[in-house]
Structure formats: structure tokens, C-alpha cells
Chains A and B, each alone.
With several copies, the nearest count.
Chain A
Amino acid sequence: MAEFTTLREAVADLVPDGVSVAMEGFTHLIPFAAGHEVIRQEKKDLTLIRMTPDVIYDQLIGMGCARKLVFSWGGNPGVGSLHRFRDAVENGYPRPLELEEHSHAGMATRYAAGASGLPFGILRGYKGSDLVQHTTVAQIECPFTGEEVAAVPALNPDVTIIHAQQADRSGNVGLWGITGVQREAALAATTVIVTVEEIVDELDRNGPNHVMLPHWTVTAIAPVPGGSHPSYSLGYSKRDNRFYTEWDRISRDPDLFRRWVEAYILDQEDFGGYLRMVQDSAALEEVLGG
């Protein structure tokens, strides 16, 4: 059932304004290209879902694409704050951002419940945390032992977007390395968009921890080589740690941020243009200085 298409068409056709979108990736395989395309197409009122909203969500939030964020940890990994996220939460700029906040264990349980067709999931968690007063969680009793455990509602995004290393020509998707919660996020969603580094004749399944999504669970596949930059795709690219550090400076100032997004995303035809631009370290100073 997977259709091969371009990222532009996939986002145009499958991500209408107002839907809930999970772009998952646990540091590895973050679908940056897809996030840029959402910004370029000026999508609005999205509910963004992700355990670890990072720089790409900072960009989406900073551009006002999101109405709400469902998450468990929002930071620039290894660097510090997400300044656009903070600005939205602390100052409602550029628009207020509703939060639905969980712990990692809670979010993982919610996705797994969603992927399993259950209305809720259970875990030992939340007890004693003030999160209980600020999120959707219930205590339920074990019918056999009387113990209390936490219940959290299933998470079923309208659209899940992930980046993977490979798809074969039938549309089966293969990813490996740190696979995070991507499989659950995809299986929980109504629509699944996958960007891939490469289309191959046969998936490279040598090595442990290879994860597959069969073609009939995927809606659309678009090849976007390098589509996880500045995150990485194990076997294809390295994490651009310098970018994450630079992001702290870019995102701190709303004007610098705006200039950066215009030059690197809005003025570019596609993610290829962005990738060419980040190669050129002089460009950044020019953009931010201008």
C-alpha cells in the first residue's frame, strides 16, 4: 500500500492543517527534512507529538505551526534549552502553545497502547510527581493484587512521520541502530510517511536490531538522502554536533531565528538546498549578520 512520492507531495496531501503529527526519532533518524517541508508549506494549528521535541520542533514552534505540544522532554540534547519552545511557553510568542506533558515511560506506554489497539496503557509511574496534577493520568487498581498502577490514554497520531535508512522497491522500510519509539509511533498512526536515505533492491538486514515496517503499514515513502541532518542516520551520516551548538545562538533571538528560517528553509526549494547551504560555514555568518 506504500506509495512512492516526493516529500513535498506527501506533506501537501497527507498533512492538512489542524491534524496531530508525530515526527519521532530518539536523537537518531530525526525527520528534519519533513519538518522543514511542513514549515515551507506553512502548516497551521498542528498538534505536535514527540517524546523528545528537539531542534526541529523548536523550528516548527518558532514558526507558529503548532497549537499544542504533546511531549516528555523538550531540550537541545547535550546543549541546553530550546529557546523557541521556551518563548512560546513562557511568553506565548509567536502564539500560545498548549502543553500535554508526560514522562518518557508514560509516552512510550501511550504509543505502545496506540500501536496495540488498546484505549489505554498501564505502568508504574507518575506517583508522587506533580505531573499528575497537570496531565491525563489515572490510578487504577490491579483486580488481582489490589496494587495501584498508573493508566495513561493511548496515543494515536493522525500522522506519523519518520526517517529511515532504507526502503525496498515494494515499500518495506528498514531501520536500525537506535530505533527509539518509531515503530510504535508508526503503528499507532492513521497515516504513515517515511523519508528514507535510499531505495534499495533488498533491505540490508545484516546486523542486530533491524526493524521493519512492512509496506502495507506505510502510506507514503519519499527518498530524501541526508534527510535527518543535523541528526544522523547510522551507516549514512554523522551527527552534526556543531549545528546543535550553533542552534543555541540562532534560536535565542527571534530575529536571528526568523532570518535563519527564511534563508535555510523558506528560500530553499527543498531539503537539498538546505544541505548545500549548511555545507558552507560562511553562509551562516552572512545570514545571521544580515
Chain B
Amino acid sequence: MVEGVSYTADEMMTVTAARHLRDGQVCFVGIGLPSEAANLARLTHAPNVVLIYESGTIGTTPDVLPLSIGDGELAETADMVVSVPEVFSYWLQAGRIDVGFLSAAQIDRFGNLNTTVIGRYDQPDVRLPGAGGAPEIASSAREVIVMLRHRRRAFVPEVDFVTSVGFGRRGEGRGGHRGAGPTVVITDLGVLQPDPQTHMLRLVAIHPGVDVEQARAETGWELEVADDLGVTEPPTSEELAVLRDLKARTEAAHSA
């Protein structure tokens, strides 16, 4: 879209998330967009980023993206593979994770995440997969990067169920958790961060070509916008090339 390089909103989201990782950081990664972003970082500016998947693969360097959290590729390219109890106790809970990635079906203005149910727990409208590793990633990782597509049904004033805590139902803060919680929420429209005082998520950057009103319209609460609202740098041609290469390799490998 810019300078003749065309890219999709998902690519913008992935590239933005990748840029948030610094070289050498230890990342707890889930499947899907987080895995794409973390591996893009590893293949571009952060070659020494350490990727941990909850299946127990530590320091893994997959050549193609995993389709599941336990693909053989993850084990075969890992520095070490540990048991699932160990990955949660000696590695996540011990505070060894710099950055945890999370997604959700719903997020509220205080960064609380719902992956459990839409509707009432006992009689759900939609039963979602559940907690998985998320509650303890949310509490134990030094910081959490949330990635999800910016849609009004996902950005709700109050989540139906707090699976993983951000800053609490009333924005009361981190309640003694060791990690800093969701320091950034990256969407396909822009970037949100919690206000240091109120803990309420506000728009701090929009992606090129996106209108602030669009972000407001897709947010279920009255979205605050930072005074110094930034505009994300569009993906470089290198970022795009590496990402597309990775996805093409992945596609080829998984359809084989």
C-alpha cells in the first residue's frame, strides 16, 4: 500500500508483533499468529531469540511453522525437550520467560482475556477451548503481548469470563502477579497499550491506511486515543519476503 509494496492487514499485524521482540529474549509462543511473529523475529532482527512452546520444546528453531503446538519439527530442532509439567514449573512459573504471547476470543478494556465461554459458564452460547497455558503465561511471563484481530465482538467492555487476568475486572491492577501483564495489544488495525494510571487500553498507534474511526468502531468501549498517536512503519520488503517465504515453506510442508 505504501511505496508500491502491498501487504495484508494480517501481515502488518505479524510484522508489528515481531518487531516487539528483542534479540536474546526468551519467548513463550502459541500456535498461529504468535508463532508466525516470533519466528519472523528470529529470521530477521532477533536471531538469538529463544522460542519455547508449551509442548516442552525449548530453544526450538523450526524451518516451517508448526500446525500444532507439538509438531515433530519443534522437537527435532529444539535445544532440549522437557516434559509438560517441567515446562510450566521450572521454566514458566520460575520467571524465566521474558515475553509470553496470548490471543483470545474476547479482550476487555483492562486487558483481561477470555478463551473459555461466550455467555454463561454453565450454559454457554459458545463453548471455547478453555484456558490451556494462558492463565499462568498471563501471570508469570515478564510481559505479555496480545495479538488479535480488531473486531467489535472481540473488543468488549467486559469479558464474559476472565480466563487470563490482565489488570482485573475493574482495572484494579496486577493483584500481586509477578509479570507486568499485557504491555501491548497488537491488532490488524493498530497498537494498544494500557494507560499507566488507569490500566485502560488506549490506541497508541495505527497501521498505515487505517482510520482512527475504524478502530473506534471496532472497539466495544469508548476507545481512548493517545495524544501522540503514532503510525506504524509499514513492513519492509525484507520483512515481507522473509514472512512470505516462511509461509510458503510452511504451506508446502504441511500439504505434502
A and B touch in the complex (CB under 8 A): yes
Contacts A117-B95, A187-B94, A239-B67 given; does A72 touch B84 at CB 8 Å: no
Determine which residue in A1, A28, A102, A234 has the highest number of CB atoms from chain B within 10 A of its CB, and name it: A28
Cβ of A215 to closest chain B Cβ, rounded Å? 9
**Inter-chain contacts of B89 with A (CB < 8 A):** 105, 108-109, 112, 115-118, 123
Cβ-closest chain B residue relative to A232: B72
Chain A contact residues (Cβ within 8 angstroms of B): what range? 35 or more
Cβ of A207 to closest chain B Cβ, rounded Å? 10
Interface string of B26-39 (1 = CB under 8 A from A): 10000110000000
Q: How many B residues face the partner with a CB closer than 8 A? A: 64
- In the bound complex, do residue B168 and residue A73 qualify as a contact, i.e. CB atoms below 8 Å apart? no
Alpha-carbon separation in the docked complex, A113 to B69 (Å)? 24
Other-chain contact of A104, B54, B71, B176 (Cβ < 8 Å)? B54
- In the bound complex, do residue A214 and residue B79 qualify as a contact, i.e. CB atoms below 8 Å apart? yes
**Inter-chain contacts of B84 with A (CB < 8 A):** 26, 51, 104, 108, 180-181
**Inter-chain contacts of A254 with B (CB < 8 A):** none
**Inter-chain contacts of B162 with A (CB < 8 A):** 128-130
Contacts A77-B31, A77-B69 given; does A72 touch B131 at CB 8 Å: yes
From residue 44 to 87 of chain A, which have CB atoms closer than 8 A to chain B? 51-52, 71-75, 77-78, 81-82, 85-86
**Inter-chain contacts of B136 with A (CB < 8 A):** 103-105, 123-125
**Inter-chain contacts of B55 with A (CB < 8 A):** 26-28, 178, 180
- In the bound complex, do residue A104 and residue B132 qualify as a contact, i.e. CB atoms below 8 Å apart? yes
Contacts A123-B93, A134-B121, A180-B56 given; does A78 touch B68 at CB 8 Å: yes
Interface status of A184 (Cβ within 8 A of chain B): yes
Contacts A89-B124, A178-B74 given; does A108 touch B175 at CB 8 Å: no
- In the bound complex, do residue B127 and residue A130 qualify as a contact, i.e. CB atoms below 8 Å apart? no
Interface status of A268 (Cβ within 8 A of chain B): no
- In the bound complex, do residue A102 and residue B93 qualify as a contact, i.e. CB atoms below 8 Å apart? no
Q: Is the interface of B mostly helix, strand, loop or mixed?
A: loop
Cβ of A239 to closest chain B Cβ, rounded Å? 7
**Inter-chain contacts of A181 with B (CB < 8 A):** 83-85
**Inter-chain contacts of A238 with B (CB < 8 A):** 72
From residue 155 to 192 of chain A, which have CB atoms closer than 8 A to chain B? 172, 177-181, 183-184, 187
Alpha-carbon separation in the docked complex, A208 to B72 (Å)? 14
**Inter-chain contacts of B132 with A (CB < 8 A):** 52, 72-73, 103-104
Alpha-carbon separation in the docked complex, A211 to B81 (Å)? 10
Interface status of A209 (Cβ within 8 A of chain B): yes
**Inter-chain contacts of B140 with A (CB < 8 A):** 117, 124
Alpha-carbon separation in the docked complex, A129 to B88 (Å)? 17
Interface status of B151 (Cβ within 8 A of chain A): no
- In the bound complex, do residue A178 and residue B81 qualify as a contact, i.e. CB atoms below 8 Å apart? yes
Interface status of A101 (Cβ within 8 A of chain B): yes
Interface status of A241 (Cβ within 8 A of chain B): yes
From residue 106 to 137 of chain B, which have CB atoms closer than 8 A to chain A? 116, 121, 124-127, 129-136
**Inter-chain contacts of B175 with A (CB < 8 A):** 127-128
**Inter-chain contacts of B126 with A (CB < 8 A):** 86, 90
Cβ of B168 to closest chain A Cβ, rounded Å? 6
Interface string of A6-46 (1 = CB under 8 A from B): 00000000000000000000111000000000000000000
Interface status of A131 (Cβ within 8 A of chain B): yes
- In the bound complex, do residue A128 and residue B59 qualify as a contact, i.e. CB atoms below 8 Å apart? no
- In the bound complex, do residue A27 and residue B131 qualify as a contact, i.e. CB atoms below 8 Å apart? no
- In the bound complex, do residue B127 and residue A85 qualify as a contact, i.e. CB atoms below 8 Å apart? yes
From residue 34 to 64 of chain B, which have CB atoms closer than 8 A to chain A? 50, 54-59
Contacts A124-B136, A127-B175 given; does A104 touch B131 at CB 8 Å: yes
- In the bound complex, do residue B83 and residue A180 qualify as a contact, i.e. CB atoms below 8 Å apart? yes
Cβ of B143 to closest chain A Cβ, rounded Å? 16
- In the bound complex, do residue A129 and residue B131 qualify as a contact, i.e. CB atoms below 8 Å apart? yes
Interface status of B231 (Cβ within 8 A of chain A): no
- In the bound complex, do residue A116 and residue B93 qualify as a contact, i.e. CB atoms below 8 Å apart? yes
Interface status of B230 (Cβ within 8 A of chain A): no
Determine which residue in B32, B124, B139, B177 has the highest number of CB atoms from chain A within 10 A of its CB, and name it: B139
Other-chain contact of A74, B54, B81, B130 (Cβ < 8 Å)? B130
Cβ of A244 to closest chain B Cβ, rounded Å? 8
List 13 contacting pairs A-B, 8 Å CB cutoff, sorted by A: A28-B72, A75-B130, A77-B67, A78-B32, A85-B127, A105-B135, A124-B178, A128-B168, A130-B116, A178-B75, A180-B83, A183-B90, A244-B67
Shortest 7 CB-CB contacts between residues of A and residues of B? A27-B70, A128-B165, A75-B129, A73-B132, A117-B94, A77-B68, A78-B67
Sample of 14 further A-B pairs with CB below 8 A, known A104-B54, A128-B168, A177-B81: A27-B68, A73-B129, A77-B69, A85-B127, A89-B124, A90-B126, A103-B133, A111-B85, A116-B93, A124-B136, A134-B121, A178-B72, A216-B26, A241-B255
Residues of chain B at the chain A interface (Cβ within 8 Å): 24, 26, 31-32, 50, 54-59, 66-72, 74-76, 79-85, 88-90, 92-96, 116, 121, 124-127, 129-136, 139-140, 161-165, 168, 175-178, 254-255
